């Protein structure tokens, strides 16, 4: 089993869903895994924020009864500095696009088999974009999101990171925190995934940087 947290520590998961049966079911699926720990399962994001201060991942329903929007909830969840995986029925592509623009790392349908949900969570925990067919279909209809190019700062981060620097060293060179660098990398991966150019590994990021003229092809990279 791949270690996804330091020293094999169980990954701390938060779940937000306002359907009790879904909440209990999702929590049960995760709790069956020895390396995953459900720290809090709540009906709203504010409730989750009151329950804990540290999470490794948040599984977020995008349509909640409190009237909150995906963008509002994503902003609040940034304090965890953890990937947010959309947990949805998939029948409202508009909210999926909103979540993607706000920084969600991908989505998984509530109707998927437990094994698929667990696999998506493990992928998100290592900050790989979970680009399911539903996710891609929703983003295909968002011309603005697809056409978006990397910002100047994102290109800087990609150039350094893809050339072999660690997130810590990239942050030191740019005068930002490691967490900020990690957030940029997550957004870069999401942008590439949205245009069907996945960059799940560091080697993939290097390839995309070369393809887009951000790096010259002689740079070495360690995955």
* Domains in the chain, CATH or no CATH each: 6-140 (3.40.50.2300), 150-211 (1.10.10.10)
Decide: pTM greater than 0.75: no
Beta bridge partners of 212: none
Which residues, 6 or more positions from 50, have their beta carbon under 8 angstroms from its beta carbon?
A: none
Which residues, 6 or more positions from 145, have their beta carbon under 8 angstroms from its beta carbon?
A: 97, 100, 101, 139, 194
Q: What CA–CA distance (Å, rounded) separates 80 from 12?
A: 11
Q: Is the dihedral of CA 179, 183, 186, 192 positive or negative?
A: negative
**What is the Cα Rg of the chain in Å?**
17
The pair phi, psi for residue 105, each rounded to 5°, is -85, -5
- Using one digit for the tens of pLDDT, what is the confidence trace for 136-183? 777 666 555 544 467 778 888 998 999 889 999 999 999 999 999 999
Which residues, 6 or more positions from 209, have their beta carbon under 8 angstroms from its beta carbon?
A: 158, 159, 162, 163, 215
- Using one digit for the tens of pLDDT, what is the confidence trace for 118-140? 999 999 998 888 878 787 777 66
What are the tokens at 78? 């940034």
Section 17-38 average pLDDT: 95
């Amino acid at each position: 089993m791949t270690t996804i947290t330091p020293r094999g520590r169980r990954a701390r998961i938060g779940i937000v869903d306002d359907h009790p049966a879904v909440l209990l079911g999702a929590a049960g699926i995760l709790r069956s895994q020895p390396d995953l720990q459900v720290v809090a399962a709540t009906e709203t994001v504010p409730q989750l924020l009151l329950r804990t201060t540290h999470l490794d991942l948040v599984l977020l329903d995008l349509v909640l009864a409190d009237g909150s929007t995906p963008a509002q909830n994503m902003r609040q969840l940034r304090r965890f500095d953890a990937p947010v995986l959309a947990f949805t029925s998939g029948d409202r592509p508009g909210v999926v696009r909103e979540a993607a623009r706000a920084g969600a790392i991908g989505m998984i349908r509530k109707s998927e088999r437990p094994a698929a949900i667990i696999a998506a969570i493990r992928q998100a925990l290592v900050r790989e974009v979970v680009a399911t067919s539903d996710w891609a279909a929703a983003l295909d209809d968002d011309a603005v999101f697809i056409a978006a190019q990397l910002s100047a700062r994102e290109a800087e981060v990609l150039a350094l990171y893809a050339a072999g620097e660690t997130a810590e060293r990239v942050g030191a060179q740019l005068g930002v925190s490691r967490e900020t660098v990690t957030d940029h990398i997550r957004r870069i991966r999401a942008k590439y995934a949205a245009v069907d150019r996945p960059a799940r590994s560091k080697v993939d990021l290097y390839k995309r940087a070369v393809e887009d003229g951000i790096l010259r092809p002689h740079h070495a990279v360690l995955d």
